[in-house]
Amino acid sequence: MLSRTAENLYWLARYVERAEYLARTIEATLRVTALPNTYIGKTNEWDSALLTAGVSASFYGVYDEANEHNVVDYLSFSPANPSSIRNCIENARLNSRSVRTALTGEMWDTINSAWIDLQEVWGKGTKTREDLTKFLRFVLETSLRFDGSAYRTMLRNDAYWFSRLGLHLERADNTARILDVKYHVLLPEEEHVGGPLDYYQWTSILRSVSALTAYHWVYRETLKPWLIADLLILNDSLPRSLASCYGNLVRNLDQIGVAYGRQGAAQRHARGVRNRLEHSHMDDIFQHGVHEFIQEFIADNSRLGEIITKQYLV
Amino acid sequence: MTVAFDEMNGPDGDLRPAYQELSRWLKETPPDALEYRRQEAELLFRRIGITFAVYGDAEAQERLIPFDVIPRIMSAKEWAILEKGLKQRVRALNMFLRDIYHGRDILRANIIPDDLIFQNPVFRPEMNGQAVPHDVYVHIAGIDIVRVNPENFFVLEDNARTPSGVSYMLENREIMMRLFPDLFARHRVAPVERYPDELLSALRSVAPLSAAAEPTVALMTPGVYNSAYYEHSFLADKLGIELVEGRDLIVKNDEVFMRTTEGLKRVDVIYRRVDDDFLDPLTFRPDSTLGVPGLMSAYAAGNITLANAVGTGIADDKAVYSYMPEIVKFYLGEEPILKNVPTWRCREPKHLAYVLDNLSELVVKEVHGSGGYGMLIGPAATRATIEAFRDKLKREPEGFIAQPTLALSTCPTCTESGLAPRHVDLRPFVLTGSNHVTIVPGGLTRVALQEGSLVVNSSQGGGTKDTWILDE
């Protein structure tokens, strides 16, 4: 297929995934900030929402204060923020138009009708909390519908695989960013603190990767920070864990390699990262330093993006 | 102006045979059912994303072309004449282009003045003596047809560069079949759905000699911001070929390749929807970022077929158009089946004088114009517009032609005050392959939605209708 088509599919999936992640982050932050101060301490949750979205620096170029109104506006609607939900949807639609021929009708319809419906929201904004929640739900549903349409209607060929690469690379990046911002509340030595303060931080983390229920099914325990870290980093049965993302990245890259009769740097690099995750234990990671581990992962992950681009997309 | 010929009710108010069933159906169908289906159609168009961009209109970057749900109907007999005439005309166009870029018999026979060709900006000296595969220049032609009475078809324009609109012909039919299955059941409408297959086989038939046994065809678009982008992606999809932009292509050793995820892949035929000027920055406009450097040298080397060929603009020129009856006679030795609209060439002083004296009754068009831009409709224009146009004409007479204001035929159309006659034209699409000319029965009917308006162009507020050719 055309390199440009593959590139568009890859980015299309990334944009949709990012929009969903932003919507989840805002939802989780709204929940935690609705709690009385005694439960969440003095940290500014809106600040960490900006950090996990990776747009803190550009935000303060526009606003002075990270409060609910400003952050929700910046993350959701701001045309000035290149990775606002609005821009993600706009870019996803633009990419979809460019690759109409590689999308199934269902995928196009999902993006195009979401784009049409959201024009009204961009015009009017969300005046009430109810409007906002409805909007965030709509974004989540759009992403789920898009993902589901892709899964159920696309031919299993390179178009599908490149789109999945975008999805899993973006997802790994998002999960890693939450861990990067919140790692301090997951450190085991803070266990003794273990008051309600941390508890709500932990549920908030799990909510932003839709893993709160999963946690209880997997561990059948009350929330323990090291188990949360284990779930998000190493447990490959959780779709948003780093291990699961890399399992999928390796699989999709292998399928491309087989179809094209050639393996390359992307396959090798992805396998390297996956192997490291497979052979890690939480104890070692804590000893080595969670923060360092995550930072290294984020660098490795974006390196994979560069390699894929070089190998296939230009 | 005389009363226009209505295709449903005829000159004397008698229902014409092709419309009998439709008329009966209209009487049975409550008006709000029509309105409801019109809204449904609009929703479908928007959902599918059948939009077009209007240049210079930032507010409405993506607009729908209004779709009128009342079909325009022609009998098989009418179509047979039209089909014959169109094939004849397109054959002559191709022979004319081959001649202009080679022996130039028609100039030596003094049928067309030399300077109309050689001083014409759309004449491409690069194409002099250049062989094109199978001598086909215009693979896809969109010939605009109008009627003023039941007997005659007139050609209004020959679109020989990159005619658009065929996606509407196909999508209009799809949507009509979805919304009005009962109406279809009462007619025998000739299908149009084989157009993509015919197009693909025409394109494959003109592959260069150096192509592989299974030639690779690609559709080249200027990109998502082009006004006809939807059509480009639609056609690529229906043909099952790659939709490429200039940046996807690269020329190496005079061969054209596309950049794929598996490396470079040779392309043999490009159905290009990019104008000559932007095709190759090394040959044409150096500032073009839409094109492919070296494309013209691959073309000269005979390694790529461009459809349509470079330089077909000369057959699209409206002053050259005025010679079409002579062109048909010269190359085919036949009387032209389709008539030309009488045309005054403003480049000729006598014609210019007549035009200047009668501006308020004429339609004046730019010789290279399209899309209804830059034209004057005398009877509908204000004094001031006419005077401004007069100055333009005097300054650059060779840039214009004039025609009488035709009372274009009308068809019943949904309007705010119920069904009413509106003026229409028709653009059938004529395909030329290595050894055959084909037309699917139908075309794009464009309708001027404003009462009394004669401008059918979508960029000027025109709409479209499904066009039915009845099988007998």
pLDDT tens, per residue, chain B with 472 residues: 467 899 999 888 899 999 999 999 999 998 888 889 989 998 888 888 777 766 655 445 677 888 999 999 999 999 999 999 999 999 999 999 999 999 999 999 999 999 999 999 999 999 999 999 999 999 999 999 999 999 889 999 999 999 999 999 999 999 999 999 999 999 999 999 999 999 999 999 999 999 988 999 999 999 988 888 999 999 998 999 999 999 999 999 999 999 999 999 999 999 999 999 999 999 999 888 899 999 999 999 999 999 999 999 999 999 999 999 999 999 999 999 999 999 999 999 999 999 999 999 999 998 887 766 778 988 888 999 999 999 999 999 999 999 999 889 999 999 888 899 999 999 999 999 998 999 999 999 999 998 888 888 777 778 999 999 998 7
Q: State the residue for tokens 């969903």.
A: A20
Q: Render the burial of A90-99: b for 16+ CB within 10 Å, e for the rest.
A: bbbbbbbbbb
Question: Which token pair is B245?
Answer: 């932009």
* DSSP assigned state of A69: H
pLDDT of residue B57: 52
**Among the partner residues B233, B260, B262, nearest to A101 by beta-carbon distance:** B233
Q: Does A161 touch chain B (CB under 8 A)?
A: no
Return the minimum-mean-pLDDT range out of A165-169, A220-224, A270-274: A220-224
Residues of chain A with C-beta less than 8 angstroms from the C-beta of B228: none
Instruction: Decide if A97 touches B, using CB distance below 8 A.
Output: yes
Which chain B residues are closer than 8 Å to A166 by Cβ? none
Complex prediction ipTM? 0.81
Closest by Cβ to A158, choosing from B49, B248, B261: B261
pLDDT digits (tens, 9 = 90+) for A208-248: 888 989 999 999 988 888 899 999 999 999 999 999 999 99
DSSP E strands in B12-139: the ranges are 67-74
Closest CA in chain B for residue A264: B262
C-alpha dist (Å) from residue A218 to A168, A208, A228, A240: 22, 18, 10, 14
Which single residue is written with the structure tokens 């949709």? A16
The C-alpha angle with vertex B267 and arms to B261 and B270, in degrees rounded to 5, equals: 120
Which residues from chain B sit within 8 angstroms of residue A313, using beta carbons?
Answer: 261
Is residue B357 a contact partner of residue B349, using CB atoms and an 8 Å limit?
A: no
Count Cβ atoms below 10 Å from residue B362 Cβ, excluding itself.
Answer: 22
Calculate helix-pair angle for A242-260, A265-278, nearest 10 degrees: 150
Distance CA B120, CA B425 (A): 28
If we measure between CA atoms, which residue out of B427, B428, B430, B434 comes closest to residue B203?
B434
- CA-based nearest residue in chain B for residue A117: B47
Secondary structure element (H or E) that encloses residue B402, with its range = strand B400-404
Q: Scanning every residue of chain B, which has its alpha carbon at the shortest distance from the alpha carbon of A109?
A: B47
- Cα angle B399, B404, B407 (rounded to 5 degrees) comes to 130
> How sure is the predictor about A194, in pLDDT bands with cuts at 50, 70 and 90?
very low
Total residues belonging to chain B: 472
Which chain A positions have a beta carbon within 8 Å of B236's beta carbon?
101
Q: Are B261 and A314 within 8 A, CB to CB? A: no
- Torsion angles phi and psi, residue B68, rounded to 5: -100, 130
Cβ contacts (< 8 Å) between B242 and chain A: which residues? 1-2, 5, 101
- Shortest distance between the Cα of B231 and any Cα of chain A, in A, equals 11
Q: A98 vs B234: CB contact, 8 Å cut-off?
A: no
Please indicate whether, in this complex, the C-beta atoms of B261 and A312 are within 8 angstroms of each other. Answer: yes
Q: What secondary structure letter does DSSP report for B29?
A: S
Q: Which residue has the tokens 């440009």?
A: A4
Residue B402 near residue B344, CB atoms below 8 Å: yes
- Nearest chain B residue to A259 by CA: give it: B262
DSSP, collapsed to helix, strand or coil, labels residue B221 as coil
Cβ separation A3–B242 shorter than 8 A: no
| pLDDT mean over A263-275 | 97
CA distance between the termini of chain A? 12
Q: What is the pLDDT at residue A296? A: 95
In A138-256, where do the E strands start and end? none
Question: Which residues in chain A are closer than 8 Å to B292, comparing Cβ atoms?
Answer: none
Please check whether residue A15 touches B, CB under 8 A.
no
How many CB atoms sit inside 10 A of residue B262's CB? 15
Task: Dig out the tokens for A238 from the structure.
Answer: 């959780």
Residues of B with Cβ-Cβ distance to A256 under 8 angstroms = 261
Q: Do A2 and B258 touch (CB under 8 A)?
A: yes
The identity of residue B82, as a single letter, is L
Pairing type for strands B242-244 and B339-340 reads unpaired
- Is residue B420 classed as helix, strand or coil in its secondary structure? strand
Provide the pLDDT for residue B452. 83
Q: Helix (H, G, I), strand (E, B), or coil: what is residue B403? A: strand
Provide the phi-psi class of B254: left if phi over 0, else alpha when psi is between -120 and 50, else beta. left
Query: What percent of chain A clears pLDDT 90, i.e. is strictly above it?
Result: 69
Q: Report the amino acid identity of residue B169.
A: M
Spatial neighbors of B396 by CB under 8 A, at least 6 apart, are none
Here the tokens at position A63 are: 């606003």
Structure tokens at B157: 């324009």
- Give tens-digit pLDDT for B226-253: 888 999 999 998 999 999 999 999 999 9
Q: Does the pLDDT value for residue A44 go beyond 90?
A: no
Neighboring chain A residues of B223 at a CB cutoff of 8 Å: 98
Q: Does A2 contact B46 at a Cβ distance shorter than 8 Å?
A: no
Residue B260's contacts (CB-CB under 8 Å, 6 or more residues apart) are A1, A2, A3
Q: What pLDDT score does B324 carry?
A: 97
Torsion, CA B320, CA B321, CA B324, CA B330, rounded to 10: 20
Q: Do A108 and B261 touch (CB under 8 A)?
A: no
B233/A97 touch (CB, cutoff 8 Å), yes or no: yes
